[in-house]
Copies of this chain bind each other. A is one copy, B any other.
């Protein structure tokens, strides 16, 4: 199968500025054969013009047809079979099994969104019927529903080459909402991006979607990303990556003449609190579970547990000994690309070199330049509170244990945390009762609070929140995972005294889609 190495501008292709980038096999640093054309600013303009035109049609396409399009993308991705799996594994160093799992998540997300919009209640229809006789003024007929924002810019993530890249969660949510999507491919996996982009174009054509609902652009730097986010026709942005990258996009978007919302999912140290009774009862068991969580996919998850807090004592000592031994026996692994493995090495050395930080253990493996070694270090609560550096994320398998002198210091550490995707508390059920203030504070700091588990493993379901206060994301009011992530790309519109013939299906008297609606404050599926 030949990979399309050109920028995809709707149903056309472009060789952009005629320069190219290549994928790299992170295991050996070798360049991969295919040369992908870097996009030009003209490509950005063309893709946006097409998206604007496509939007006029796409936003009014019935939910059923949009659902079929999403399902078709899923099956086109599956049809790529081992070509896609092999390519993604080659470009990211992630094992094929992990890629297969991630592909399952990707297609599942697409199908979940298809079901969600097919059911239809996501438009949050609300109807207040008129009171023509009301004094002093008649009450008009008001009908509200959510409508799509317009062209959405999506940035592929390095650590999820499928589930948070070209046809990942952001793209699925935007398409489901009725928004065209313009993806800036992550330069770390251009071949994977191209294959998925081709699948989307095929699905779009075969389900008769308008030209322009999807474009895919390559760039090795920041020019194209900036141009996309700064373009007057862009209406929203989805991003998964570093704090510096996400913040840069947020700044561009909010300093535009007409600002647009950016949902950037960025850094998180995913703090875990280990309570004394639990440590006393099951230190080694907890250490086993955490060892797995820390080292999984070479720690390259946004929910990797980077900070572990506990009060000093025998329980914590047991835990540290056990975890230390597990980490030393753990394997080093190839990281996503050389930039990430270098940053990991530098940042974990920088951390362990901080005053008061004690190195504990590291994988015994001989590791190549491309590999990351799971690493464990320790500091006191006081050191942690006074050194902001220790609050930063180290992307990769690095965890820092914070040993507190007592519960008060533990509480102070938690109060000092910045926003997180997750916080976790490990304790015995009877123990939780004594820590309600702490649990309250953990809730304040994060989008998800986990009890007796680990932060890794983000279930894709409606009740998931993958979000949280800054710097975990740029807007804590939304989630990046699950069907409710569609809310990022929708806005309410009210129709006042509109004739039935003009109203969208969701707001017509006879409720042809049989959706849940609020009618005069009552939630119902009935007709009017």
Contact = CB atoms under 8 A, between A and B. Distances in A.
Given A128-B463, A459-B139, A479-B492, A450 B497 contact: yes
Contact of A439 (B139, B142, B487, B502): B502
Interface stretch (A159-167, A347-355, A516-524): A516-524
27 contacts: A126-B462, A126-B463, A128-B461, A140-B457, A142-B459, A142-B463, A144-B465, A149-B476, A250-B254, A254-B255, A254-B259, A258-B470, A258-B471, A429-B501, A432-B501, A436-B502, A447-B491, A448-B496, A449-B494, A449-B496, A451-B497, A451-B499, A453-B496, A453-B497, A463-B494, A465-B494, A477-B490
Contacts of A518: 462-463
A245 B186 CA distance: 38
Interface of A: 56, 60, 121, 126-128, 137, 139-140, 142-144, 147, 149-150, 250-251, 254-255, 258-259, 261, 418-419, 429, 432-433, 436, 439-440, 443-444, 446-453, 457, 459, 461-465, 467, 469-471, 474-479, 484, 487-488, 490-499, 501-502, 516, 518, 521, 523
A391 B144 CA distance: 27
Contacts of A475: 261
Closest 10 CB pairs of A and B: A254-B254, A142-B463, A465-B494, A128-B463, A448-B494, A144-B463, A476-B491, A450-B496, A126-B463, A128-B461
A60 B436 CA distance: 12
Given A261-B475, A419-B258, A491-B467, A499 B429 contact: yes
Contacts of A491: 447, 467, 469, 476-477
B259 A250 contact: yes
A62 to B, nearest CB: 15
Nearest to A429: B499
Contacts of A261: 475, 477
A453 B462 CA distance: 40
B463 A493 contact: no
A451 B258 contact: no
A276 to B, nearest CB: 18
Contacts of A523: 121, 516, 523
Contacts of A150: 444
Contacts of A448: 493-496
Nearest to A523: B516
Contacts of A499: 429, 432, 451
A418 B502 CA distance: 23
A465 B124 CA distance: 13
A391 to B, nearest CB: 13
A459 B134 CA distance: 12
B419 A451 contact: no
B463 A143 contact: yes
Contacts of A436: 502
A255 B476 CA distance: 16
B432 A492 contact: no
